[in-house]
Amino acid sequence: MSALQAHLPALQVIVPMLTAPLVILVKERRLCWAATLLASFCSLAIAISLCIDVLNGDSIRYLMGSWPAPWGIELRVDTFSALLLLIVNGSSSLALIGATASLDRDIESSRQPLFYAAWLLALAGLNGILVTADAFNIFVFMEISALASYVLISAGPNRRALPAVFKYLIMGTIGATFYLIGVGLIYLMTGTLNIADMALRIQDVADQKAILVAAGFITIGLALKAAVFPMHIWLPNAYTYAPNMVTVFLAACATKVSLYILLRIDFFVFQPNLSGHDFQFSYFLLPMSLLAILIASTVAMFEPNLKRLLAWSSVAQIGYITLGASLVSVAGLTASLLHMFNHALAKGALFLVIACLGISLSHLRIDNIAGIAKQMPWTMAAFVLAGLSLIGVPGTAGFISKWYLITATLEAGSWGPALVAIIIISSLMAVVYIWRIVEIAYFQPADEQAVVSEAPFFLLLSTWIAVALNFYFGLSAALPVELADSAARLLMGQMR
Amino acid sequence: MALLELYHYWVFVVLLMIGFYAVIAKLNLIKKLIGLSLFQAAVFLLYITMNKVEGGTAPIFTDGAVDQLYSNPLPQVLILTAIVVGISTLALGLGIVVRIKEEYDTIEEHEIQEIDRQ
């Protein structure tokens, strides 16, 4: 067991990656689902085990092929990556528990093995980004996960998924290529690709202009991939027309992993070494975060399509995450990382509810769900509870991160109260767009002809697990808070 | 003169911008993908040209060669990976265009938007 323990960082990627081709060979769709579920839970177990190992603040270093660090590829897991590993593997596992009924509706059974293989590759790519300490390696894993998620999204039943995924492919590739240019410029100036080594060698670079350009390329490229406003235009359609379970998986983690790369490289490599970079970083991100929060929430209030409504809400929530990061303080980063975790819980649960609705409804427009709470009481109850968490009502996970965010902005100086006002206004907007759905589902007369029945058991099970987690982490938030706080200190250089 | 000496950077930037322009301005999806390929190829050139050390040879150790100057082989290896990534992206992009053609019977972006609006 201990021999295996040492290789956990590598296994985190290898388990889903090797299961992917096996799934194609199996061909029987239920077996494929079982194998994918098993691999995903194995991966989750590895993530939890790694998380326990790093909780005391250590980081685990693993040398691929035992080649020493700056030359060989190093894997490194610290509290920051452990937090994201929990989000990614948790949301994949949770989505897969109830996936069969929803996927049978969206994807013909002969193609399901290929679909599961793409799912595992996306998982492997996302895990790879999180464990590696090598900037070029991140690019490769980023493209693996991106290519796999294009395939996942294009499997959507509506033909509009195709133009949506094409747009995502174009913008995603431009983002990744910008990142590649940035890494190339840093390599040109420092001769290294290992992130920790980069941070050391940049200190000796006399002319910082090229490094500054690299920082620009990397920030813009990753902001594109993370759908930071106004580079979010690929996101609403891609999330809307993807198969419902894919939206659950990707909405909970894909953009957050891009933000992880941005924060890791910016705070480890650029912040300590470029003079005035903290101002550049925060004056770039702060206005875009505020615009994202206000504009995307406003659009969500008037959007008739349920999935697109929640996708716009995701754009707003990414705004909260970047707002916390743009404060460039331990408190701000803690709030930001905590919100990554809690938003994944809330939005994962809400999209699972959408998947439940999608089993019996072919059109997910807001007027199609009139009075549906009578026929689907469990589903809509889950929606109300997860909605409370998204709004940030005390007792839910969403409250914890908003509380931290407000505390952090108040410390931020004279701007603080204005930022708090914006956070509160946008929370009220969230009340409006969640309430619109609740009102129609509960208080409007139902369409008598429509034959609607409660969602299948396993889908409801995973929805309610997600809802329960929202309340569990709302009442005892010790674990995510500890992880986020330790990761924030690591990023701000207080633990090195 | 200093500007001309760095001509490989100019090739990189010009190629990058031509590709970027095609991605943004062209409405035909295939032309967009061609632009995307050019865009990526420009970055490959950036990596490949940076490894050249003036007067350096191929990094192969031979008997008796002391104080030999070698070029850096790593960027070429890196870009080999990036080329594979680029080809996969292009293949997937073309695959999606084929599916779009089957479903919409056009590969012009504005016509697709028109059809979707109906």
Residue for token pair 């079982």: A34
* Separation CA A313–CA A255 (nearest Å): 13
Q: Is residue A246 part of a domain?
A: no
Full domain range(s) for residue A477: 276-496
Per-residue pLDDT tens digits for A22-77: 999 988 889 999 999 999 999 999 999 999 989 887 888 999 888 888 888 999 99
Mean pLDDT (chain A, rounded): 90
Of A381, A229, A365, residue with least CA distance to A297: A229
Q: Residue A153: closest CA among chain B residues belongs to which residue?
A: B96
Question: Does residue A300 fall inside a structural domain?
Answer: yes
Task: List the single residue in B72, B88, B96 with the smallest CB-CB distance to A154.
Answer: B96
Report residue A371: phi and psi, to 5°. Answer: 65, 15
Q: How far is CA A258 from the centre of its chain?
A: 8
Q: Which helix (H) or strand (E) holds A326?
A: helix A306-326
* Mean pLDDT, residues A310-337: 93
CA-nearest residue of chain A to B89?
Answer: A147
Contacts of A172 (CB under 8 A, 6+ apart): A146, A150, A224, A225, A234
In a domain, A151, yes or no: no
Confidence band for B1, pLDDT divided at 50, 70 and 90: low
At CA B11, angle to CA B9 and CA B12, rounded to 5?
60
Nearest to A438 by CA among A393, A395, A385: A385
Q: Answer yes or no: are the C-beta atoms of A240 and A299 closer than 8 Å.
A: no
Contact A194, A268 (CB under 8 A): no
Contact A220, A281 (CB under 8 A): no
Other beta carbons less than 10 A from residue A91's beta carbon: 29
Return the residue in A139, A177, A213 with the most chain B beta carbons within 10 A, the one to mutate for interface testing. Answer: A177
What does the longest C-alpha to C-alpha distance in chain B come to? 75
pLDDT band at A372 (very low <50, low <70, confident <90, very high): confident
Give CA torsion, residues A198, A200, A202, A204, to 10 deg.
-140
CB A427 within 8 Å of CB A402: yes
pLDDT tens digit sequence for B14-55: 999 999 999 999 999 999 999 999 999 999 999 988 888 778
Identify whether A230 is part of a domain. no
Pick from B46, B82, B99: which is nearest to A162 by CB?
A: B99
Q: Indicate yes or no: CB of B46 within 8 angstroms of CB of A150.
A: no
The pLDDT assigned to B7 comes to 85
User: Rounded to a whole number, what is the distance in Å from the CA of A156 to chain B's nearest CA?
Assistant: 12
Of A140, A151, A160, the CB nearest to B85: A140
**pLDDT reading at A1 higher than 60:** no
**Cβ contact, residue pair A187, B46, below 8 Å:** no
Q: Could you give the C-alpha distances from A364 to A307, A357, A361, A451, in angstroms and in order?
A: 7, 8, 7, 15
Q: Which residues of A touch B82 (CB under 8 A)?
A: 139, 180
Name the residue facing A170 among B32, B72, B81 (closest C-beta). B32
Closest-CA residue of chain A to B84: A140
Between chains, do B96 and A169 touch, taking CB under 8 Å as contact?
Answer: yes
Q: Note whether A318 and A255 are within 8 A (CB).
A: yes
Residue B9's pLDDT band (cuts 50, 70, 90): confident
Q: Is residue A256 part of a domain?
A: no
- Assess if residue A79 is contained within a domain: no
Look at strands A74-77 and A60-63 and give their pairing. Answer: antiparallel
A194 vs B: CB within 8 A: no
- Distance, in Å, from the CA atom of A417 to the CA atom of A421, rounded to the nearest integer, reads 6
Would you say B103 and B115 are in contact if contact means Cβ atoms under 8 Å apart? no
Contact B100 A143 (CB under 8 A): no
Q: Is A163 on the interface with B (CB under 8 A)?
A: yes
Q: What angle do CA A33, A35, A36 make, to 5 degrees?
A: 65
> Mean pLDDT throughout A297-312?
93
Mean pLDDT for A198-221 is 89
The nearest alpha carbon in chain A to B102 belongs to: A159
Please indicate whether, in this complex, the C-beta atoms of A163 and B81 are within 8 angstroms of each other: no
The torsion defined by the Cα of A451, A452, A456 and A459, in degrees rounded to 10, comes to: 150
ipTM score assigned to the predicted complex: 0.94
| Residues of chain A contacting B113 with CB distance shorter than 8 Å | 163
The chain B residue lying nearest A158, using CA atoms, is: B103
Residue A102 lies in a domain: no
Q: Which residue ranges form the domains of chain B, and what is each CATH number?
A: 8-53+70-117 (1.10.287.3510)
Is A195 inside any structural domain? no
Q: How many domains does chain A have?
A: 1
Beta-carbon separation of B96 and A170 below 8 A: no
* Closest alpha carbon to A116 in A21, A239, A42, A14: A21
pLDDT digits (tens, 9 = 90+) for B55-110: 888 888 777 777 778 888 888 889 999 999 999 999 999 999 999 999 999 999 99
CA distance B105 to chain A (A): 12
**Residue A376 φ then ψ, to 5°:** -125, 65
Name the DSSP class of A194: B
Shortest alpha-carbon distance between residue A74 and chain B (Å): 16
For the segment A255-285, what is each residue's pLDDT rounded down to a tens digit?
999 999 999 999 999 888 888 888 888 889 9
Contacts of B88 in chain A (CB under 8 A): 143, 147
Q: DSSP per residue over B63-96, as a string?
A: TT--S--B---HHHHHHHHHHHHHHHHHHHHHHH
Q: What is the pTM of this model?
A: 0.93
Residue A185 Cα distances to A210, A211, A332, B19, B53, angstroms: 7, 7, 30, 20, 16
- Give the long-range contacts of residues B97-104, CB within 8 A, separation 24 or more: B97/A166, B97/B29, B97/B30, B97/B33, B99/A154, B99/A162, B100/A162, B100/A163, B100/A166, B100/B29, B103/A159, B103/A162, B104/A159, B104/A162, B104/A163
pLDDT over 80 at A249, yes or no: yes
